[in-house]
Amino acid sequence: MLLLVGLGNPGKGYEGNRHNFGFMAVDEIIHRHSFMPGRIRFQGVVAEGTIGGEKVLVLKPATYMNLSGQSVGEAMRFFKIPLENVIVFHDELDLPLGKVRVKTGGGHGGNNGLRSIISHVGENFRRVRLGIGHPGEKHLVSGYVLRDFAKAEQPTAEKVIDSIARHIELLLAGDASGFMNKLALDVAPPKGRPATTTKDN
């Protein structure tokens, strides 16, 4: 079993925040791949489904960002999921909006959700880093991540989450490079090639 974790804060007031980009990504995966309806478990919302023949559990911790590791640890222990089968989707200040990078291990980079997960289960899980850009000054970060995407940013954010859901099977199969390449082509296609906009491909 694979565990996909979206990071964000629960509640209507946070839904469109940049800090909830991880929630947005896994919500689209759940929708596109017709997962079972979500249930309250492990201090979060859990949905189960199958992608490419693999059983997949999607978890959205309801603990607020800085306690996400409690929820992730509970789910991992219950299902005996090894750390290498965990993929965490989170917003990334150090990448511009539209850029997505996959990495395994490393620090938390100031992200309190990652910080909490690392403290509970260790650092050697895969991360899907969803660029949101940086406001330019460190003291502006807290307000920036807790604001919604600007109207001009929303089409790019939507392209990112749509492409992730369409190509997630590549990542689950271990082809991180192929996954990132597909996303890059969808979000910023070469000149002369139309962007992919339909959600039915």
Tokens 């919604």 label which residue?
A: 148
Q: How far apart are CA 116 and CA 84, in angstroms?
A: 17
Q: How far apart are CA 91 and CA 143, in angstroms?
A: 14
Q: Which parts of 8-123 are beta strand (E)?
A: 39-41, 44-51, 54-61, 86-92, 100-104
Contacts of residue 72, Cβ cutoff 8 Å, sequence gap at least 6: 3, 5, 59, 61, 86, 88, 117, 120, 121
**Active-site residue (options: 19, 33, 90, 167):** 19
19 is catalytic: yes
Sign of the four-CA dihedral 34, 174, 90, 153: negative
Angstrom distances, CA of residue 199 to CA of 29, 52, 61, 123, 162: 12, 18, 26, 34, 7
Residues annotated as catalytic are 19
